[in-house]
């Protein structure tokens, strides 16, 4: 493809109804008019401030009339209709990236087939709803507000750090107060890393390359602790060359893109 291509339809009919999205696709979003969103973008020097992952693809035969995403937000981890982002162009711009490795995208359902990996990544993400949040966080409004204040303090401070040190680690007080420790993009990185790692354990696969393929945080490699994985920012996902740009929805217009240069062109960075 030679440069970005502007598609004719709006996001829902063009990407959802035509089946162009895939399970476990990564979404990065820009929240317009959001102070916290601005603070995150300011601190990480990025166009994007939030991240999510495609969970269920539209399939009317199975009763799914839309596509749903899973994401970590102020109240824990939730599943939402993707229309929340696609049908509100005055509030959100959206970028879609994809892990295009053959081992992840093939539809084999046995051994180390891609379907098994995609299911495990999404399954791990779903388990986090029950295991970590339903019983202690979602009903606690005060903690939601406190979490937002913690994040609002973290991200502007990152701007003055070196790029290689621009990590969004949640301080220890947050965990002691039972604040949701997942930054949205850290949740996506954690689900990929843990989901793929779990399949490798189950199949006895000792090839570490697959695990390296799903490390989007540039700091991981020296340290793959939970803290570092969860410190992954939306900028890390947007900048990672392991995830391929597929589409950008900006101001309600849908663009098909095939690389960072295409994405920068649509976003006005070139």
Gap between the Cα atoms of 32 and 203, Å rounded: 44
Residue 69 in tokens: 């995403």
pLDDT band at 43 (very low <50, low <70, confident <90, very high): confident
Compute the average pLDDT of residues 105-125: 80
Provide the percentage of residues in the chain whose pLDDT is more than 70: 75
Residue 255: C-alpha distances to residues 69, 133, 222, 252, 258 (Å) = 20, 36, 36, 10, 10
CATH of domain 5-266: 3.90.1720.10
pLDDT at 260: 93
Q: Tell me: the pLDDT tens digits for 3-37?
A: 899 998 899 999 999 999 999 999 999 999 988 78
Residue 67: C-alpha distances to residues 13, 44, 147, 237 (Å) = 11, 29, 28, 21
Gap between the Cα atoms of 19 and 157, Å rounded: 40
pLDDT band at 230 (very low <50, low <70, confident <90, very high): confident
Q: Tell me: the pLDDT tens digits for 157-210?
A: 556 555 555 455 554 544 444 444 457 888 899 899 999 999 999 989 887 899
Closest CA relative to residue 82, chosen from 118, 120, 56: 56
DSSP-derived 3-state class of residue 254 = strand
- Asked if residue 1 has pLDDT above 90, the reply is no
- Asked if residue 140 has pLDDT above 70, the reply is no
pTM for this prediction: 0.81
| Eight-state DSSP code of residue 197 | H
| Eight-state DSSP code of residue 129 | I
Can you say whether residue 57 is alpha, beta or left, with left for phi > 0 and alpha for psi between -120 and 50 degrees? beta
pLDDT band at 84 (very low <50, low <70, confident <90, very high): very high
Gap between the Cα atoms of 97 and 254, Å rounded: 14
Average pLDDT, the chain: 81
Compute the average pLDDT of residues 218-242: 82
**What are the extents of the domains in the chain?**
5-266
pLDDT at 250: 96
Residue 243 in tokens: 């995830």
Residue 168 in tokens: 């969004």
Residue 180 in tokens: 């949701």
């Amino acid at each position: 493809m030679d440069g970005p291509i502007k598609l004719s339809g709006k996001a829902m009919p063009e990407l959802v109804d035509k089946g162009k999205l895939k399970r476990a696709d990564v979404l990065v979003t820009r929240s317009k008019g959001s102070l916290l969103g601005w603070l995150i973008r300011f601190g990480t020097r990025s166009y994007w401030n939030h991240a999510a992952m495609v969970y269920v693809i539209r399939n009317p035969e199975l009763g799914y009339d839309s596509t749903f995403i899973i994401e970590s937000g102020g109240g824990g981890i939730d599943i939402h209709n993707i229309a929340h982002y696609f049908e509100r162009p005055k509030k959100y711009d959206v970028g879609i990236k994809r892990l295009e490795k053959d081992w992840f995208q093939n539809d084999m359902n046995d051994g180390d087939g891609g379907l098994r990996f995609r299911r495990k990544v999404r399954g791990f993400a779903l388990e986090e709803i029950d295991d970590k949040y339903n019983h202690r966080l979602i009903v606690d409004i005060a903690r939601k507000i406190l979490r937002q204040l913690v994040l609002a303090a973290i991200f502007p401070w990152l701007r003055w750090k070196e790029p290689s040190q621009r990590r969004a680690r949640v301080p220890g007080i947050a965990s002691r107060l039972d604040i949701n420790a997942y930054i949205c993009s850290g949740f996506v990185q954690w689900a990929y890393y843990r989901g793929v790692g779990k399949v490798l354990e189950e199949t006895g696969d000792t090839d570490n390359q697959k695990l390296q393929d799903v490390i989007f945080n540039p700091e991981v490699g020296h340290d793959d602790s939970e803290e570092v994985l969860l410190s992954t920012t939306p900028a890390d996902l947007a900048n990672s060359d392991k995830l391929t740009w597929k589409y950008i929805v900006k101001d309600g217009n849908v663009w098909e893109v095939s690389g960072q240069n295409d994405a920068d062109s649509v976003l006005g960075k070139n």
